């Protein structure tokens, strides 16, 4: 996704400058910067010199709105401070826009949760495909259905979904192998509707999207036949939902709806791939907030 897109930002040279750090730190900082480079390019910023402090604040605000934890936002701010300080020392810019940059306040912000009925409506609409649709349009609809079903059905991070390969799927056994943060693998169950969506896409849709440069192992393909990337997924959600929906909102919704239905917190932790139970506990607060909202709107004396 990022290859040529990171060249104007001298990513390789910056990585070499921190090669003495632990592999986990290098991976985390590089991931943070690549997310920002992607964001910056969409705003027309193609080099470090073109980036303003406003761009940096807008990026962190967007990440906060997507529901990322305060600790993650703080690390991203630290990554940006270190990178732009390196750029200044290398003479790639005159003024460091990340000087004294901090994560946005509001660490207690609850993640966005999509109502179960709204999700069901979108998925049902995609399931009801007629044979009258053109072959290519049908392929995209089947792909989008499988993407949304899998994101919500398994609570995947968007990066996890984009990395899934053919060999990771066990449709007969009803499971998928996912590579999460820290290169940790977890095998997740697939419910029947997810399996149905994947079977339909793989048997009726994927072939129409294949091009000469298509990776043989990639499941989800974009319009040019390459592996689907996070930006492609966001476009899919923008197209299929009536309101802006970040891919991470489907993960939040997955966790919250499970807890609302009585699932054990530790089971949800395992499904999400959280290394710490504390990270998962934010969803208990979401559920309590939803419970209070229902009470206030429903009880005649509330």
Please tell me which residue in 181, 231, 234, 235 is annotated as part of the active site: 181
Name the strand (E) or helix (H) holding 179: strand 175-179
Burial class (CB in 10 A: 0-12, 13-18, 19+), 59: buried
Divide the 302 residues of the chain into consecutive groups of 10 and give the mean pLDDT of each group: 55 88 87 91 88 87 78 89 92 89 63 81 80 80 95 94 96 94 90 94 94 94 94 91 85 89 88 84 68 62 54
pLDDT of residue 219: 96
**pLDDT (0 to 100) of residue 43:** 83
From 35, 138, 206, 248, the catalytic residue: 248
Model confidence, pTM: 0.62
Q: Which is the catalytic residue, given 10, 76, 200, 251?
A: 251
Q: Domain spans of the chain?
A: 4-89, 116-248
Give the model's pLDDT for residue 300. 62
Per the annotation, the verdict on 251 as an active-site residue is yes
Give residue 132's pLDDT.
65
pLDDT given at position 5: 42
Q: Any idea which architecture 4-89 has in CATH?
A: Orthogonal Bundle (1.10)
Choose, from 45, 75, 138, 157, the residue flagged as catalytic. Answer: 157
pLDDT at residue 298, rounded to an integer: 63
Active site residue 181: yes
Give CATH for domain 116-248.
1.10.443.10
Q: Is 211 annotated in the active site?
A: no
Rounded Cα–Cα distance for residues 75 and 103 (Å): 8
Taking the C-alpha atoms of residue 70 and residue 271, their distance in angstroms, rounded to an integer, is: 22
């Amino acid at each position: 996704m990022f290859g040529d897109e990171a060249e104007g930002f001298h990513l390789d040279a910056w990585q070499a400058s921190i090669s003495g750090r632990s592999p986990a730190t290098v991976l985390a900082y590089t991931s943070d910067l690549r997310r920002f480079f992607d964001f910056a390019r969409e705003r027309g910023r193609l080099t470090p010199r073109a980036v303003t402090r406003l761009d940096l604040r807008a990026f962190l605000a967007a990440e906060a709105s997507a529901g990322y934890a305060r600790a993650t936002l703080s690390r991203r701010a630290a990554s940006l401070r270190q990178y732009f300080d390196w750029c200044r020392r290398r003479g790639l810019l005159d003024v460091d826009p990340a000087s004294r940059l901090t994560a946005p306040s509001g660490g207690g912000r609850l993640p966005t949760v999509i109502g179960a009925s709204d999700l069901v409506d979108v998925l049902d609409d995609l399931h009801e495909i007629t044979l009258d649709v053109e072959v290519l349009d049908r392929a995209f609809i089947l792909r989008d259905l499988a993407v949304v079903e899998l994101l919500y059905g398994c609570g995947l991070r968007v990066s996890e979904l984009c990395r899934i390969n053919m060999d990771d799927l066990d449709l007969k056994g009803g499971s998928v192998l996912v590579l999460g943060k820290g290169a940790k693998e977890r095998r997740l169950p697939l419910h029947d509707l997810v399996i149905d969506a994947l079977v339909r896409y793989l048997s009726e849709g994927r072939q129409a999207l294949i091009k000469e440069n298509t990776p043989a192992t990639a499941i989800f393909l974009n319009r040019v036949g390459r592996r689907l990337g996070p930006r492609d997924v966001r476009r899919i959600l923008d197209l299929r939902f009536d309101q802006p929906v970040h891919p991470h909102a489907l993960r939040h919704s997955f966790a919250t709806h499970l807890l609302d239905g009585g699932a054990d917190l530790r089971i949800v932790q395992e499904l999400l791939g959280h290394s710490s139970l504390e990270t998962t506990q934010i969803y208990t607060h979401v559920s309590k907030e939803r419970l209070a909202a229902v009470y206030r709107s429903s009880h005649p004396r509330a």
